[in-house]
Amino acid sequence: MSHNSFGHLFRITTWGESHGPAIGCVVDGCPSNIPITAEELQVFLDKRKPGQSRFTTQRREPDEVKILSGVFENEQGDLVTTGTPISLIIENTDQRSKDYGDIKDKYRPGHADYTYIEKYGIRDYRGGGRSSARETAMRVAAGGLARKVVPGMIVRGAMVQMGPHKINRDNWDWAEVNNNPFFAPDKEIVDVWADYLDGLRKSGSSIGAVVEVVADHVPVGLGAPIYAKLDQDIASAMMSINAVKGVEIGAGFGSAELTGEENADELRMGNSGVEFSSNHAGGVLGGISSGQPVVARFAVKPTSSILTPRKSIDRSGQNVEVSTKGRHDPCVGIRAVPVGEAMMALVLADHYLMHRGQQG
């Protein structure tokens, strides 16, 4: 059992607070002889890094990851994993603690301030402390390693809804995702979102979003029924991301409105193996991967850090008003895209190892 670890065989343990000296992650269970460098992990961290556009928080952190253990030069002189735990660390550099002083004793509505104090009797209030989304940087770094565990697997994410504005799925183009500050796969939505978010940003407001993550080339057979189902672990993974309030696989909540005839993905033998007529299942049948793309979506709530004052209480039980003046993301869904990708990669790497150990 663990509170700060995720995964079964491929397992991460993260530590650190938003404004402490550093944050970090220990990756345990990674097979040996996987080539890896800090630079490779940095690519994914840079996608998540704040301050990349006017649409994310202006906090400036280089978020430079270092590898402190678990890798060594092989006989060819390449850095590879050794099978021992891989310690990743990012030093915190931009800790403007003064921004957070006035929320020391006030509970921000929608944040974890109240529940942390009720549970622990103490909290590091600076920047949200442990409950800050800063922790997700370590997931992204570890996810970069997880991607390399399953041969051929590709994990990609995109934002598919911001507030009331959904993408047009007919326009879906993975190539567009990195061409805009929203990870939008539909280039026609970009201006709509930009205008919409500018308005919210200037008024100090915020908005929710939906993110979709797709894993291609996932081997058949990953997932361990009944209680380590692949989709169950994906649900757990995505719901563990800060601000996520819902997770769905394949047709998801839409399947409530489908008949059995509509929902069944028919099978046929094709030239290169089994083919499915559709993917309402999202690549998972009975908790086990089917070889189709694994498709998950999750809903991200709007951050509760807004300029408009909200009613709350303080630690002494007095009624107060709270508004948040710090630097924040008007749509935290944007930076949740690389985090969602990372969580998908972590779950699949883990199940890949489990399946390999268990198979008959």
Window 310-349: residues binding a copy of itself (CB under 8 A): 310-313, 317-319, 333
Helix 136-146 / helix 333-358 crossing angle, nearest 10 deg? 40
**Candidates 23-31, 40-48, 140-148, 176-184 — which segment interacts with a copy of itself by CB under 8 A?**
23-31
Among 36, 194, 306, 334, binds a copy of itself (CB under 8 A): 306
Could you tell me if 265 and 281 are in contact, meaning their C-beta atoms sit under 8 angstroms apart? yes
Q: Which is nearer to a copy of itself, 122 or 175 (CB)?
A: 122
Cis? peptide before 23, omega within 30° of 0: no
Among 74, 190, 279, 293, binds a copy of itself (CB under 8 A): 74
**Candidates 37-45, 94-102, 175-183, 203-211 — which segment interacts with a copy of itself by CB under 8 A?**
203-211
Burial class (CB in 10 A: 0-12, 13-18, 19+), 267: exposed
Burial class (CB in 10 A: 0-12, 13-18, 19+), 192: middle
Q: Is 238 in the site for a copy of itself (CB under 8 A)?
A: yes
Tell me the residue type at 53: S
Q: Which is nearer to a copy of itself, 175 or 321 (CB)?
A: 321
Among 90, 184, 218, 285, binds a copy of itself (CB under 8 A): 285
- Radius of gyration, alpha carbons of the chain: 21
| Cβ count within 10 A of residue 291 | 17
CB of 92 to a copy of itself, least distance (A): 10
Q: Is 98 in the site for a copy of itself (CB under 8 A)?
A: no
Could you tell me if 162 and 207 are in contact, meaning their C-beta atoms sit under 8 angstroms apart? yes
Strand partners, 72: 80
Q: How many residues bind a copy of itself (CB under 8 A)?
A: 150
Three-state secondary-structure class, residue 23: strand
| Cβ count within 10 A of residue 276 | 18
Q: Is 38 in the site for a copy of itself (CB under 8 A)?
A: no
Q: Is 269 in the site for a copy of itself (CB under 8 A)?
A: yes
Q: Which is nearer to a copy of itself, 151 or 175 (CB)?
A: 151
CB of 46 to a copy of itself, least distance (A): 23
CB of 318 to a copy of itself, least distance (A): 7
Q: What angle do CA 64, 68, 71 make, to 5 degrees?
A: 110
Three-state secondary-structure class, residue 199: helix
One character per residue 216-235, x = contact with a copy of itself (rule: CB under 8 A): ----xx-xxxxxxx-xxxxx
Q: How far apart are CA 343 and CA 341, in angstroms?
A: 6
Among 299, 334, 337, 345, binds a copy of itself (CB under 8 A): 299
Q: Is 301 in the site for a copy of itself (CB under 8 A)?
A: yes
Q: What Å distances lie between residue 105 and 113, 128, 144, 294, 325, CA to CA?
A: 9, 12, 37, 44, 16
Q: How far apart are CA 18 and CA 29, in angstroms?
A: 27
CB of 180 to a copy of itself, least distance (A): 19
Among 84, 93, 171, 178, binds a copy of itself (CB under 8 A): 84
- Strand 22-28 vs strand 86-91: parallel, antiparallel, or unpaired? antiparallel
Site for a copy of itself in 141-180 (CB under 8 A): 161-164
